[in-house]
Amino acid sequence: MKRKTPQGRVILNSVREAGRPLTPLEIHSLASAKIPRLGIATTYRHIKVLAETEKIVAVDYPGQPPRYEWADGRDKVHFACRTCDKLFALEDPTENTPPSNVPKGFKVQGYEVMLYGTCPEC
Ligand SMILES: [Zn+2]
Q: What is the pLDDT of residue 73?
A: 76
Q: At what angle do helices 7-18 and 24-31 cross, to 10 degrees?
A: 110
Q: Residues 79-116: pLDDT tens digits?
A: 999 999 999 988 765 565 666 678 999 887 777 778 89
Please report the pLDDT score of residue 93 as a whole number: 58
pLDDT above 90 for 4: no
Paired sense of beta strands 76-81 and 114-117, if any = parallel
Q: List, as ranges, residues with CB under 5 A of the ion ligand 1.
A: 81, 83-84, 119, 122
Global confidence as pTM: 0.79
What CATH code would you report for 7-117?
1.10.10.10
Tell me, rounded to whole angstroms, the distance of Cα 14 from its chain centroid: 11
16-29 confidence digits (pLDDT tens): 999 999 999 999 99
Q: Compute the distance from residue 114 Cα to the ligand 1 centre, in Å.
A: 15
